[in-house]
Amino acid sequence: MDAFTQHIGTAAPLRRSNVDTDQIIPAVYLKRVTRTGFEDGLFAAWRNDPAFVLNQPEYEGVSVLVAGPDFGTGSSREHAVWALMDYGFRVVVSSRFGDIFRGNSGKAGLLAALVEQDVVEKLWATIENDPGTKVTVDLEHKTLSAGDISAPFEIDDYTRYRLLNGLDDVGITLSHEADITAYEATRPAFKPATLPAKA
């Protein structure tokens, strides 16, 4: 994973709440066995609508998505994060995220910046007034700014640390392998095993 310290880019306002992961990428787009190539599925149902925000020429090339509350609820599909990243997004801003989506974002390198709803409202107004407004997202200081808005955002410390350093989770965990082996020696005998199979 690439390290993430600061991102500057233009933003799109997604004025909807409860954007679940089925909206971000419908199930029919989850058939690929690769980790990339999901941009065609992003918001697939809405992309057919000429009025949809991402179809507006002024929001071409955006890399920050400012969404309504409860973004990324529902299914655990990490494809939702991959689709956003494949499209070009690096940051999603919302006042509430689905837990699994937020976790997946941290693993895949998409910054899920949690802010108060009034910050979302101000960002929407600013972006809509001038779609060329650059949004600066500073992970080191946990702040975002755009026009005359400057606000802190929340992200858990450990995810922030991993993103800042571009660290691979599995690698970190395997450095504690002795702890895992020691734990395994204490597991009770009655815990089930899938192998050998019993019918």
Q: What share of the chain is helix, strand, coil (3-state, %, to 5)?
A: 40, 20, 45
- Residue with smaller CB distance to another protein, 6 or 173: 173
- Phi first, then psi, for residue 7 (nearest 5°) are -135, 135
CB of 132 to another protein, least distance (A): 27
- Helical segments of the chain, H only: 21-24, 44-47, 79-87, 99-108, 117-129, 157-165, 169-174, 177-184
Residue with smaller CB distance to another protein, 2 or 31: 31
Nearer to another protein, 125 or 172 (CB): 172
Which residue has tokens 């933003």?
A: 11
H/E stretch holding 135: strand 134-138
Element (H, E) at 10: strand 6-14
Tell the smallest beta-carbon distance from residue 87 to another protein (Å): 18
Interface with another protein by CB under 8 A: which residues? Answer: 16-18, 20, 22-23, 26-28, 30-35, 45, 68-70, 73-79, 81, 96, 98-100, 103-104, 107-108, 156-158, 169-170, 172-174, 176-177, 179-180, 183-184, 187-195, 197-199
**Closest CB to another protein among residues 18, 133:** 18
The minimum distance between CB 134 and another protein, in angstroms, equals 27
Token duo for residue 71? 């973004």
| For another protein, the closer CB: 129 or 181 | 181
Taking the complex as a whole, the smallest distance from the CB of residue 182 to another protein amounts, in Å, to 8
